[in-house]
Amino acid sequence: MADTVMILATGGTIAGTEDKNYASGYEPGVLSVDELIKDASLSEICNIRTSQICNINSDDITSSIWIGLAKKIDELSEDDTIKGFVITHGTDTLEETAFFLKHTVKTGKPVVITGSMKPADSKETDGPLNLYDAVKVAYDDSSSGRGVIVTFAGKIYSAAFVYKAKTDDVDAFGSYPQKILGTVEKGNVSYLQTKDKSDYNGTYFDIKGISSLPKVNIYKFNVDADPEILKMMADRSDGLILEGAGAGEYSKDLIRLMEGLSIPVVICSRSVNGYVSPGDLLNKNTVAGYSFSSQKAAILLRLALTVSCDIGFLRYIFSITAG
């Protein structure tokens, strides 16, 4: 009988404790997962099992941790007693881990990621409630088949659209271009959106035989941006993301330099609610990044490059996954 939620802990502020020696006033990734769940009343929801994946600041997450985590989730999902997964994570790169897992794990069981903005021993900590909500969502029948989701401050987000929007508010996340998926209030899970094409998990990529990802870096355009820096980045990368102004625009000098590049370049917008369509592209040899932030586009490009560097294929992947 599927009566268990598996908690996979990676660290972050939710496992952090106050410490004046740190610039932020606390150290992330200190408490173990078993310490985290001690007072969280989770056993009133379902059985809980735990695994400590790592215990770090999420700015130190690596793609090899992602690959290991995705493989572990798919292995564990064969266990019939597990109904869903909760991942505890730092908020800084939470959207990247969520997006990577969305495109790689195959299970239809709920995979829910959460964290907190205040450390575990702060009087105002938001960690225990976010963790409780995440377990509720992971254990709820209506969460299956929705892909990887994020719960934070009572809201449920699709990994496709979630992003960290604020740095000084416990309601720290936003959703773009689609709205939030639902809410979890006083333990009641309610979905506002029906399942749609963005709810699939891992349809296009198979990481079973993969132990590392191609290298993709992000170049942000600004006034007087130095084209030589882009060239240096291209020399050290398998692909690039160019974050352009407005609908993905950049200077004539950069257009000229880009003509000679032989690696794929995806064009995103530096506008907060930006969008780059194929018709906006200034260089013929580039790929439209649509509504993807540059950090999500980088993950999608890294995954796509594990399959092919053909520009037609890359354009196809970006067009069908864009929201």
Shortest Å distance, C-beta 126 to ligand ASP: 10
Shortest Å distance, C-beta 59 to ligand ASP: 6
Which residue, chain included where needed, has tokens 């952090």? 16
278 close to 315: Cβ distance less than 8 angstroms = yes
Q: How far apart are CA 195 and CA 160, in angstroms?
A: 13
Binding segment toward ligand ASP, per CB under 6 A, in 71-79, 84-92, 137-145, 179-187: 84-92
Q: Candidates 90, 110, 174, 244: give the one binding ligand ASP (CB under 6 A).
A: 90
Task: Tell me how crowded residue 272 is: count the other CB atoms within 10 A of its CB.
Answer: 10
255 close to 265: Cβ distance less than 8 angstroms = no
286 close to 87: Cβ distance less than 8 angstroms = no
> Which residue(s) pair with 185 in the sheet?
188
| Using rule CB under 6 A, residue 181 touches ligand ASP | no
| Using rule CB under 6 A, residue 12 touches ligand ASP | yes
| Using rule CB under 6 A, residue 115 touches ligand ASP | yes
Active-site residue set:
13
Interactions with ligand ASP, residue window 22-51 (CB under 6 A): 28
# binding residues, ligand ASP (CB under 6 A): 11
Binding segment toward ligand ASP, per CB under 6 A, in 52-60, 70-78, 132-140, 199-207: 52-60
Shortest Å distance, C-beta 90 to ligand ASP: 2
Q: How far apart are CA 128 and CA 182, in angstroms?
A: 20
Question: E strands, the chain, where?
Answer: 4-11, 17-18, 26-27, 47-56, 82-88, 111-114, 148-152, 155-158, 162-164, 173-175, 182-185, 188-191, 216-220, 239-244, 265-269, 286-288
Question: E strands, 34-104, where?
Answer: 47-56, 82-88
Mark residues 219-258: x for contact with ligand ASP by CB under 6 A, - for none.
----------------------------------------
Shortest Å distance, C-beta 171 to ligand ASP: 13
| Using rule CB under 6 A, residue 57 touches ligand ASP | yes
Q: Which residues bind ligand ASP (CB under 6 A)?
A: 12-13, 28, 57-59, 90-92, 115, 117
